[in-house]
Amino acid sequence: MRIVAGSAKGTRLASVPAGTRPVSDRAREGVFSSLGGSVEGAAVLDLFAGTGAMGIEALSRGAASAVFVESAPAAVRAIEENLRRTHLEDRATVLRADGARAMRGQGGQFDLLVVDPPDETSAEALGRVVDDIARKGLTAPSRLLIAARTTSKPSC
């Protein structure tokens, strides 16, 4: 995996820890191409961050700051390594916490929220996270929430 565009374009990211499902380069490219210039200057929350590729891609493309929330210790280490490799750690905060529980204590507003929970997260649990985001007012007016439900399992 590599960063697709921006100041860290082409930077190879750390190995993906076991049990982590990263967002592919192609998927990230599609998402961020559709967002265009709205990423510049944005405050980003990458919830269930995995390797941090989505938030790091946003930082590389000009986001002002990013908060990464991830519960798995190996994934947290991968995020920290990826931020070091891309030289973007000065604009990032990494929190080791459960994504759903982190919403209860999170303050501030974000311009871009990326919510990409693990495959085993039920639709109901994801709905509760999105409801918590809305109730807490974590999204600035007219801003974006990206909820990804990719799966590594083949569908029939």
For the domain that residue 88 is a member of, what is the CATH number?
A: 3.40.50.150
Q: Which residues contact 85 (CB under 8 A, 6 or more apart)?
A: 8, 11, 12, 13, 14
State pLDDT tens for residues 124-146: 777 777 776 666 656 655 465 66
- What does residue 126 show for φ and ψ, rounded to 5 degrees? -65, -40
Residue 34 lies in a domain: no
Q: Which of 69, 71, 7 is nearest to 40 (CA)?
A: 7
User: Is 82 domain-assigned?
Assistant: yes
SS3 at position 56: helix
Considering its fold, how many domains does the chain have in total? 1
Q: What is the pLDDT of residues 36-81, one digit of tens each?
A: 888 999 999 898 899 999 999 999 999 999 999 998 999 999 999 9
45 domain-assigned: yes
